[in-house]
Structure formats: structure tokens, C-alpha cells
Structure 1
């Protein structure tokens, strides 16, 4: 999850992602996605958009041969340092370094919103999966951030401005249709909601407010007022950010 409309500081982003990944809800969602892959021991599983590689390492604990794919060299460097026993490669979701029908599972978390046209990525997923292989997609709808605030209209403007900066902000609500359109079967969707009431997401909230001001959606004064409100809420244990996450899973016939 990016924290701003501009490129975030890599170390700050990794630190924020580490905090989020360690939340009980995030850990449970990762475990659920791994469970839904339903692969036998020794299966080859590709994790597209693997980031710092935590899910790849957890899949290795299942006895699978996990392969993490990402385009971000910095993330791959961290992943290789943290999980030296796992495999990581730089590649695009639309051009995987894998033979036809060579993997038993395909997982992608918070990736498809960054792909303007997911058709190529899902075509590639269909190509590399073996018949009967499972695909699991996880992502948030960028129009669907729920943030308690003394300024609800301003909050709505900030959230939509952030969504407008994403390549495919509503990709997650389209998972079911996309999978059906690409000939996957037994398509099902679950909704899991992350709730944050402390100051964990304040860097993200600050980033999206500044980004909204940068594109002219709000003024810098409005951004400062909104950030101040969120800061005070976090300090007083009155913060509330809810982010629904859509988990779609299906089989390759």
C-alpha cells in the first residue's frame, strides 16, 4: 500500500508495511490466502508483487516451493536478505519467467490496483497455472476507505483524490468478473476488514492529504486542518480507519 501519490521513502514504506503486516487481522488474512491455495507439499507457488517476501516465506513453511515476483529492486533486496532460503525474481505480472502450466498456485496481494489493464496479468496467470491450480487475489477498493473525521466532506474529497491517482482504483470490486472473464471457475469472494484505531496509519493519512492538496483537490490549509484532526484523534485513542479487503479465489480448469 503506497502512502502518498508521489514515490514514498522506501525505508519508511517498508517500516509501515511491516507494522501493518504484523497486525493480527493482516496475519490472519495472509494465512487464509495461503490456505485457499490448497496445494500439495512440494508444489510451486508464485507470489506476484511479493514486496518484502513475508508471504513467500510463510508458503515455504507449508512445504511449498515459493517464488516471489516483484518489479521493485529495493523490495527484492530486502526480501532476499530477510528470507535467504526463498526464491525471488524481478519480473512483470504480464510477463512471468515461468513455463506454461508450471505452477500449482498463484497469489497476488495489493497488486492489481497498480495495473491499468489486468487482462494481460490474468491471461499470464491462466497460462502458468496447471489445470486444477488455484488463484488467490487480495486487494482494497481505493474508493472504500472509511475514516472517522470532524470533516466528512473533506475526508470524502481526500479519499477520492487518492483513488484517482491509482491506475485501477476499483480493481478489487471487479475480481469476480475478471476471473470469470478469464475462464477461471469456482470463483468466490470474501471480505475482510482491517480496522486501525491508533496512530499506525497516520503517515498514510498525512500522505494522502498532502497529495490531495498537491493536485488541487483541497487547499494546503484544509490539508493541515484535516491532518491535525487525525493526529489529535490518534493521540486521544479516538482514531478510526476501516479498510475492507476483498479476497477472491478460483480454480484454473
Structure 2
């Protein structure tokens, strides 16, 4: 599958996750923690299809979405033509030193090989007194309802091993402290998925680890079949711990 195909498949899954109970409330909490005045410049790093950028703009801040994927930026511009979306990376933000007042990154830092470098770049772009908010899942502690707990643990941990920084979210506090941020606080929320959305996520996990040889094809097929049956009967369940860290420059 090409990268474009991957992105095209990812967008509807992200949309489904964004529509789950608690997702809107978590985004709203992140905007509250940014604590920005009207007109302030806020960057949403790894903006994806742009939902958070338009919600921030609705709150009267100047929101800019940054993403390294041209396909994601194109999707965001198509959905929200009035939004400000730019190609860029967490390592090289298109802003001068101290130019932005708020920095937000949701489910991004686990994809980075050098999270500390991204935090340093965030600090560079933030003005003194600026706010940073990081949101992310801990890939090693996904909770999946299954009749085969041993295989499920294997899938969860093997899938985590395929992520660049699977446990970075539990380290947000130390990352921010080490970079010189102040007023560092961390909240823990729980993302809950059920039904077809949960099945799509966990089946994707099993497919990924089977492709890497961590489990056999037969094990993956049987486990996925069980998860699909659970989704069919509304018994699929996935809980994900989400860490929300905030701090002041």
C-alpha cells in the first residue's frame, strides 16, 4: 500500500475516533489549558485533517496547522478553506523565535525519533509566557477485551515496538522539565472505543504485528475474527490511557 493510500485510509479512522464519546471534551480541555487571549497565534503541530485548527479559530485565536503530509494538508484545506495550513515538521517550525503564544500537539510525539528535539523547537518558537499542551497515548498500556489475554498482550507490546517512541507520553513531564518549561502539569484521561471503531483499530494492530512476524498468520486471523464478531454483537472494547501535559515557557 502506498503512503497516499495509507493516508486516505487513516483519515476516516481518525474521523471516527474524533467522534467517540469524550474526544470533543478532551480537545476542548486542551484549548482551555492553552489559555490564549483572542488574536493570539497558536500552532497545532501534526494537525491532520484540520479539526482542531478550525475549533481553535472558532475560539478567536489565530490558529495555524502544521503537518508533514501533503495529503493531510490538502485534506485540511479542502475541508476548511478558510484555515491556515502549512507543510512543516515538529523539528523545524515555520516561525521566528518567540513568534507563537500557544503550541499544541495531539498524538504526534510517539511518531518522533527525537521527542526532546521537538520540545526544544517548541520552546524556541514560543514567546516567554507562552503555553504548550501535549496529548498522547501510551502504546504499551492499551486495554483490549479478549478471551485470549496472552495473545492480546503479545499483540499490544509487539505493536508498541513498531512505534518510534511508544512510551513518550508517560515521559511528557520530564521532557518539559528538562527543556526548561515551568508550571508543568499532567492529567490522565481515558479514551474509550467500542463497536466497529474499536475493531478497526485493534485489527490493524494485529495485522501490523503479523506482518512483522511477531505472531503467526493463523493467530492473527483467529484473533481478528473474534474481534469482528465482538464488533458485530456490540462487544468490542478498547481503552487507551491519554496523557495531557501542559506547561509555560
Q: CA deviation at 1:128?
A: 0.8
Q: Distance in 2 between matches of 1:176 and 1:210?
A: 32
**CA separation of 1:48 and 1:21: change in aligned 2, threshold 3 A:** same
Name the structure 2 match of 1:54.
Answer: 51
- Aligned ranges for residues 119-138 of structure 1 at < 5 Å? 119-138=116-135
Identify the residue that residue 30 of structure 1 maps to in structure 2. 27
Query: 1:8: Cα distance to partner?
Result: 6.0
Aligned mates of 2:90, 2:69 — CA distance in 1: 12
Distance 1:204 1:83, change over 3 A: same
Match of 2:191 among 190, 194, 202: 194
1:12 equivalent in structure 2 = 9
Query: Structure 1 CA distance, aligned partners of 2:207 and 2:10?
Result: 16
Indicate yes or no: 2:96 matched with 1:90: no
Q: Which has the higher helix share?
A: 2
Provide the rounded CA distance (Å) in 2 between the counterparts of 1:176 and 1:240.
29
Pairwise CA distance, 1:61: 0.5
Q: 2:4 touches 2:71 (CA, 8 Å); kept in 1?
A: no
TM-score by length of 1: 0.95
**Deviation string, structure 1 residues 170-199 (Cα, Å, up to 9, x no partner):** 000000000000000010001111112212
Distance 2:71 2:4 in 1: 13
Question: Which residue among 218, 240, 244 is the counterpart of 1:247?
Answer: 244
- 1:79 pairs with 2:79: no
1:160 to 152, 157, 160: 157
Structure 1 Cα separation of the partners of residues 208 and 92 of structure 2: 31
Task: List runs of 5+ in structure 2 lacking aligned partners.
Answer: none
Q: Offset at 1:161? A: 1.0
How many residues align structurally? 248
What is residue 203 of structure 1 aligned with on the other side?
200
Query: Which segment is superposed worse, 193-202 or 32-41?
Result: 193-202
TM (norm. structure 2) is 0.96
Greater Cα shift, 149-158 or 210-219: 210-219
Gaps of 5+ in 1: none
Matching residue of 1:183:
180
1:203 offset after TM fit, Å?
Answer: 2.1
Distance in 2, matches of 1:119 and 1:244, equals 21
Aligned to 2:18: 21
Q: Residues of 2 paired with 1:213 and 1:233: CA distance?
A: 20
Between the aligned partners of 1:211 and 1:24, the Cα distance in structure 2 is 26
- Deviation for aligned residue 1:147: 0.2
Match of 1:230 in 2: 227
For residue 107 of structure 1, give the secondary structure of its aligned residue in structure 2.
Answer: strand
Q: CA deviation at 1:24?
A: 2.9
Match of 2:97 among 97, 100, 106: 100
